Amino acid sequence: MTSVRCVGIDHIQIGVGDIKISGLFYDRLLKYFGFKVLSIGKHYRNWHNSGRNTFSIEQVEKKHVLTGFHRKRVGLNHIAFRAARKSEVDNFYKKYLLANKIPVLYGGPKKYPEYYKDYYAVYFEDPDRIKLEFMCFGKQ
């Protein structure tokens, strides 16, 4: 069997229930993480961070919005954005999530040693209840 080497994930695209609401949410969030707007259309938005990764949202048809999203169904569970150190997770929690009144899951930032020894994260949800995470692990 021939194999090829995958060098990373190029982009992630998620469907959203309301492009205007989610567009504002992700525009603020991704700009805070250092992403820049790549392109904007009537039904989509794209951001990138120095050309390394692209994050996209697209309006889904209204008939699909009715069923709603839940991470316990087959499909996407959550998206994790990686921080360089624990202090960045804490600062994001205090200066971004709390300041913008974004509901935080599981009581705020904390260690998750069941994942990795030094795993530290804060979880939150987007307007469609897609779970998002800002995390770090390893020497910090």
Picking from 66, 82, 103, the residue at the C-terminal end of a domain is 66
- Give the 3-state secondary structure percentages of the chain, helix then strand then coil, rounded to 5: 20, 35, 45
Rounded to an integer, the average pLDDT of 81-109 is 96
Residues 73 and 134 in one domain: yes
Q: Is 94 helix (H, G, I), strand (E, B) or coil?
A: helix
Residues 89 and 36 in one domain: no
**pLDDT above 90 coverage of the chain, percent:** 73
- Give how far the C-alpha of residue 135 lies from the chain's centroid of Cα atoms, to the nearest Å: 11
What pLDDT is stored for residue 90 in this prediction? 97
Spatial distance between the Cα atoms of 131 and 121, rounded to a whole number of angstroms: 12
What pLDDT is stored for residue 140 in this prediction? 60
Spatial distance between the Cα atoms of 106 and 125, rounded to a whole number of angstroms: 11
pLDDT band at 139 (very low <50, low <70, confident <90, very high): low
The token duo for 100 is: 């913008």
Whether this model's pTM surpasses 0.85: yes
Residues 125 and 73 in one domain: yes
What pLDDT is stored for residue 62 in this prediction? 79
The token duo for 131 is: 């779970």
Q: Amino acid identity, residue 83? A: A
What pLDDT is stored for residue 7 in this prediction? 73
Tell me if 21 is assigned to some domain: yes
